[in-house]
A and B are shown apart, each in its own frame.
Chain A
Amino acid sequence: MTRFEVVRTGDNAPAGQPVTQRNVPHRGAEANPSANALQERFAAAIKRVEVIWGETVVYVDPGSVREVIRWLHDDASQRYDFLSDVTAVEYRDAEVPIEVVWHLRSLPFRRFLRVKAQIPKGMPLEIDSVYDIYRAADWLERECYDMFGIRFRGHPDLRRILMWESYKEGFPLRKDFPLRGRFSRSEQLRQALAQNPEARYSMEELTIADAFAELPQDMRERLSKGERTGE
Chain B
Amino acid sequence: MGLTAPAEHRTVAYAPESQEGWVATRLDFLVNWARANSLWPMPFGTACCAIEFMATAASDFDLARFGMERMSFSPRQADVLICAGRVPFKLAPIIRRIWQQMPQPKWCISMGACASTGGMFDNYAVVQGIDTIIPVDVYVPGCPPRPEGLLYGIRMLQEKVKNERAADAGTRDEMEPDPNSQLYIPPSVIDELGEPFGNSVNQTRSGL
A interface with B by C-beta (< 8 Å): 92, 162-164, 169, 172, 175-190, 192-197
Contact = CB atoms under 8 A, between A and B. Distances in A.
B204 A192 contact: no
Contacts of B176: none
Interface string B74-113: 0000000000000001101110110000000000000000
B204 A178 contact: yes
Give the most central of A162, A192, A194: most B CB within 10 Å: A192
Interface in B113-127: 122-125, 127
A197 B200 contact: no
A189 B91 CA distance: 11
A190 B187 contact: yes
6 contacts: A162-B90, A181-B124, A184-B200, A189-B92, A192-B127, A197-B94
A181 B206 CA distance: 15
Interface stretch (B27-35, B40-48, B156-164, B191-199): B191-199
B93 A178 contact: no
B89 A185 contact: no
B132 to A, nearest CB: 6
A169 B123 CA distance: 13
B124 A178 contact: yes
Give the most central of B89, B122, B133, B187: most A CB within 10 Å: B89
B133 A189 contact: yes
A186 B92 CA distance: 13
Contacts of B89: 164, 188-189, 192
Contacts of A178: 124, 200-205
Given A180-B203, A184-B188, A195-B93, A189 B124 contact: no
Nearest to B186: A186
B188 A186 contact: yes
A113 to B, nearest CB: 30
B90 A179 contact: no
Given A184-B199, A185-B194, A186-B191, A176 B92 contact: no
B12 interface: no
A92 B187 contact: no
A209 to B, nearest CB: 23
Contacts of A175: 204-206, 208
B190 interface: yes
Contact of A185 (B90, B93, B195): B195
Nearest to B189: A186
B198 to A, nearest CB: 11
B187 A177 contact: no
Contact of B123 (A180, A190, A194): A180
Interface string B125-140: 1011000110000000
Contacts of B132: 189
Contacts of A192: 89-90, 92-93, 127
Contacts of B200: 178-181, 184-185
B122 A193 contact: no
A89 to B, nearest CB: 14
B187 A187 contact: yes
A119 B4 CA distance: 84
A182 B187 contact: no
A175 B207 CA distance: 10
A169 B124 CA distance: 9
Interface string B159-184: 00000000000000000000000000
